[in-house]
A and B are shown apart, each in its own frame.
Chain A
């Protein structure tokens, strides 16, 4: 191991930014917070990018590791113990000074602090807490902070970090449990899900007692609400409701029935989720099981989880507990999983863990490790791109994973984006009449997005629309024309509602799929409507 004993601050930045750069989440969204007297900074609900790196990714936060030393040996990671790379460690004061000084110059929105595992998970989490404690109390930093919860760290430390951080994340690492066993042998699904559940419960408790504190619900939550579906996090309540139903509360009983029937609607997905390990505690003893799987959710047990927040009176609670919510990321293409497995896991994370965001990271074989696939970058990145598109459909448009993929068809179409692909499979629902269709029906039209749909809904109240007007509202005509009529008229008489015909035309229009829908979705924070800030 190469130690940089007397590394300068500049050398440390180089090493520890290098080591952090593969983490894909760098958003600063999710909490609106005004400044506070005597403190530096505020926070903007939809997040702010400050620059774009040479790879085209947004730079929003000072994304660094506290240290890149690590006792673990995850096969896919540059920092693993068996690698011979330069190592460095910040002091808490260095982290604080850099954050504050970068922030004052408007280089960044705040800090994203992660770390390799030094000594033990607890020791590492304590280092992270030390840095954040200083940053909030001594350096009086009031801007955005994102930190990792280290799997296996004690719940006390995870809680403390949650009072300083705006967002926390625990990396799921790999979509399947098997993949985790093979590639990250020191981690288990349970160790990963335990802090995730703790943070979810803590957030719920904090919101109930302190209010939202400028935080907002996830886009997924808003979409489910709009569609009248069960809300994420309600699953948690279902447990209580189940308890009170036993005590004879009829209304709560109904709610539980609803949950149960929602669950019965998708037995296949349930199976899929079990397979991917999000539901691992199902294998527990039968009593445990009856309690823990109520309403379809699984609560990891032990470690005092579920006992709730314990540090109310020791800590400054004015920012709330993890007000910007939690996110996670998984590596795609390292362990042979299907897109369907990934989307099922994603959906389960949104529903059962109330996550704000799930990020996907196309696997890069940084270690040239033989246990790992040698894949070419391009197809994998296209796959990652499709996953982000599908994720977007889940969060904003109300699609369900089972509508997009199935066990029989577990991969996304490489040539067509998931929304077009879905529409082509459901031509019986088209064409849609633009003047009368509901907002949600409009959203399902290829070429119409959330912004154009809401503009259409507003504008048609003030008068009749035509195709020219639709174009002006941001509708992508070359896609939409096959699927809409406006005032009973097709745009061109010769258009046919025919799968082959439309597919051919769409592909013709769409030679470079990477350029069409959403590089933006992947990389840039959606300033207007991420986390549901509709602009106009």
Chain B
């Protein structure tokens, strides 16, 4: 058996690519011990390995739907959330995590989600936790600016590691249902657009659009100073504790937070 080559499914570096690869790997019957999934990021160079065969995966909506339907119908909604969280993450092993998680899932059913003593399940669990944690951070550490009045428009910029816009939009579209607002994910060149009392969608931006939105989101406005004043005065000087503050609110989250930006 040692002479059987590892087969690497190479796919686009996005949700649809990864799930399409999971689909191809799943129907291949090649044996899950010999399968790897490799999302190909645009600017990276991948070395060819010996004793490895490569398969290029074409992305398609049918493949994606077929995987997701199977997860929902044959395993559970909980398993679906494991898969989706991994799919929106940016870890290079996310395809493997999904694929291997599912091979257990299709035999164990929903229980797979608790079986974190199995290494790949643990990995999927961990990815899901990290994605949820990041999404939660960006419910907390995100600031809007009112960049226009009549009608009012709010704009926020974030730079998350994973593609968490859809997760946080559930939250903000309810909270700010009556507002026009935009959240720009600067690193990934995507933005979510919300219409007052209406729907929202995530769009991929052109470089110019991204630049324009980023500038808009830095516009000065009157509440910035009031908020900074509050922020400064609510701390107890005798208890100053920068280390604790850094533990709770790591520096890289502060980049786009009004109270930490000098203007």
Contacts and interface: CB of A to CB of B under 8 A. Distances in A.
Contacts of A63: 234
A18 B116 contact: no
B233 interface: yes
Residues of A contacting B: mostly: loop
B145 interface: yes
A32 to B, nearest CB: 11
Contacts of B243: 56
A104 B176 contact: yes
Contact of A42 (B136, B174, B240, B248): B174
Contact of B234 (A20, A40, A458): A20
A52 B245 contact: yes
Contacts of A523: 244, 248
Given A38-B178, A40-B178, A105-B258, A51 B116 contact: no
A536 to B, nearest CB: 8
A393 B227 CA distance: 36
Interface string B247-263: 11100000001110000
Contacts of B249: 51-52
Interface string A384-401: 000000000000000000
B156 A14 contact: no
Contacts of A34: 174
B241 interface: yes
A315 interface: no
A364 B236 CA distance: 10
B92 interface: no
Residues of B contacting A: mostly: helix
Contact of A10 (B144, B174, B229, B247): B229
B150 interface: no
Contacts of B241: 54-56
A101 B245 contact: no
Contact of A55 (B171, B227, B245, B257): B245
Contacts of B237: 54-55
A105 B156 CA distance: 9
B1 to A, nearest CB: 25
A21 B140 contact: no
Contacts of B239: 55-57, 377, 381
Contacts of A98: 226
A54 B235 contact: yes
A35 B233 contact: no
A21 B231 CA distance: 11
B230 A22 contact: no
B227 A54 contact: no
Given A10-B229, A34-B174, A377-B238, A461 B114 contact: yes
A50 B248 CA distance: 11
B229 A462 contact: no
Contacts of A10: 225-226, 229
Interface in A85-141: 98, 101-102, 104-107
Interface in B131-160: 132, 136, 139-146, 154, 156
Nearest to B144: A105
A469 B117 contact: yes
Contacts of B213: none
A162 B213 CA distance: 42
Contacts of B146: 104-105
Contact of B238 (A35, A102, A364, A469): A364
A56 B249 CA distance: 9
Contacts of B118: 463
B108 interface: yes
A277 to B, nearest CB: 28
Contacts of A458: 114
A473 B178 CA distance: 42
A18 B232 CA distance: 9
Contacts of A62: 230
Interface in B198-237: 223, 225-227, 229-237
B236 A55 contact: yes
Contacts of A55: 235-237, 239-241, 244-245
A462 B115 contact: yes
A21 B232 CA distance: 11
A299 to B, nearest CB: 37
A17 interface: yes
Given A56-B239, A455-B114, A472-B122, 15 more contacts: A10-B226, A13-B230, A42-B174, A42-B175, A51-B249, A52-B249, A54-B242, A55-B245, A57-B239, A62-B230, A106-B143, A107-B227, A462-B111, A463-B117, A473-B116
8 closest A-B pairs by CB: A56-B244, A469-B117, A53-B235, A458-B114, A17-B233, A55-B239, A54-B235, A56-B241
